[in-house]
Copies of this chain bind each other. A is one copy, B any other.
Amino acid sequence: METILYPPREDWKKLCERSSINLERIEKACREVFDAVEKEGDVAIARYTEMYDGVVIDDFAVSDEEKTACVDKVPEELKRAILTAKSNIEKFHCSQLSVPSPVETSGGVVCRQEIRPIGKVGLYVPGGQAPLFSTVLMLAVPARVAGCGEVVLCTPPMKDGSVNPVVLWTAQQCGVDKIYKVGGTQAIAAMTLGTGTVPAVYKIFGPGNQYVMAAKQLAQRYGVAIDMPAGPSEVLVVADSTARARYVAADMLSQAEHGPDSQSILLTMSETLAREVEKEVERQLDMLPRRDVAAKSLMHSRIVVLDDILQCVDFSNAYAPEHLILSVDNPEEIVGKITDAGSVFMGHYTPESAGDYASGTNHTLPTSAYARSYSGVNMDAFVKKITFQSITREGLEALSQTIMTMAQNECLDAHSRAVSIRLEDNE
């Protein structure tokens, strides 16, 4: 991990760079899968599952027996933890569902927004070594709070053809009952196009490897919406002299263990802290089971020492981090200056892992500086806001000259006539 002292502003752009991923080269492979799924449906899904997951699956739908059997396979302590997290996530996401009051924009003209859930959503939960049941919570809870009618979940089967029991149990706790043992590109293709078994959806959510990311991009071309583009996970810590090096190092390592592409950045105005964190990272790294992954990630992580806290905030805004930890004495003092970030963790006792699992905020967040234009997953992602308007005859009369003048100047005469024809009648 490199430490850079007082870099001039013109170097910041370079210091904000992420490892870039070129999805185009794998797009062709994704297209083949989509084409095959479009033509052959479940037959293609079965073929790719055998090819990529190394297992022959007869029925992709998780059976009622499997749904029941998972209950005994999840330790009670983990069940309690998941239900506590679920409750917090529900509380925070429920609070986001407010509709503004109707507005009478001019006499007799009333406009309002109403919220409607997206009818069919697809959730993708990656497999691999670690079962990401927390992702189930982060996607299924808001989908259910929103009231989405059909919630479909795809996750890759394990070598024995089963689905991880914790993922299965968590999904059921969240009210998701359509669960399919399909992973990777073929899962995204199935939820985009629909097969005999897997239903097509209107929007697809969830993380995944580069193939899943490329497949989600491709899904958009078929008219299916996605939560957001994705890249490797990242954290930026802003720390002042009140920060404790051990905590900061632990936060950077909890990011680094995600994957070799992950990035951890520390910004501080304390050279002392910078040196202490360097040492602490080395020390704590040795204790981690995933130290090989973390060590690779640290190779493109960095510590940047800047003049003052305002420079740190400026740098952070330029980086637009997915996770921003404010390990400072008075975080609220700088909150107003933060313009671009996915999720912000304030104070010395607010580690990122709290938000990753259980505090209630969502952990599906914009990476790769997408925080400049995208929000993390929140209730807005599962609903549409439809505008409704109601105009009285008097209201239309009062606004008629405005509408007709504008329409005529845009050479849209029929638009103007739709108003005048209504006012010709004497009622």
Contact = CB atoms under 8 A, between A and B. Distances in A.
A35 B181 CA distance: 41
Contacts of A340: 116, 119, 384
B393 A384 contact: no
Contact of A372 (B92, B202, B360): B202
Given A85-B406, A350-B396, A405-B78, A414 B359 contact: no
Contacts of A371: 384, 386
Interface stretch (A47-55, A186-194, A284-292): A284-292
21 contacts: A81-B405, A95-B103, A98-B100, A113-B378, A116-B338, A117-B339, A119-B339, A120-B372, A225-B370, A254-B412, A254-B415, A257-B415, A288-B413, A344-B387, A354-B403, A356-B407, A357-B415, A358-B399, A358-B403, A359-B389, A380-B385
A380 B247 CA distance: 35
Contacts of A118: 372-373
B129 A411 contact: yes
Interface string A340-353: 11111111111111
A63 interface: no
Interface in A251-292: 251, 253-254, 256-258, 284, 287-290
A114 B378 CA distance: 12
B95 A100 contact: yes
B414 A254 contact: yes
A311 interface: no
Contacts of A349: 391-393, 395-396, 422
Contact of A335 (B100, B284, B388): B388
Contact of A373 (B202, B221, B288, B338): B202
A350 B92 contact: no
A385 B389 contact: no
A410 interface: yes
Closest 7 CB pairs of A and B: A105-B360, A225-B373, A88-B105, A353-B415, A81-B405, A351-B418, A130-B411
A133 interface: yes
Given A78-B406, A114-B335, A373-B384, 17 more contacts: A95-B101, A105-B360, A166-B409, A202-B372, A220-B220, A225-B374, A247-B418, A254-B412, A335-B388, A342-B386, A350-B390, A353-B407, A357-B403, A362-B387, A375-B386, A380-B380, A380-B385
B114 A354 contact: no
Nearest to A255: B414
A247 B134 CA distance: 54
Contact of A354 (B88, B109, B356, B368): B109
A411 to B, nearest CB: 4
B418 A352 contact: yes
B335 A422 contact: no
Contacts of A388: 335, 343-344, 346
A81 B335 contact: no
A369 interface: yes
A131 interface: yes
A246 interface: yes
A391 B359 contact: yes
A358 B375 CA distance: 30
Interface string A72-97: 00000110111011011001100110
Contacts of A405: 77-78, 80-81
A376 interface: yes
A294 interface: yes
A17 to B, nearest CB: 13
A397 to B, nearest CB: 9
Contacts of A256: 414
B375 A406 contact: no
Residue of A375, A378, A402 most packed against chain B (CB within 10 A): A402
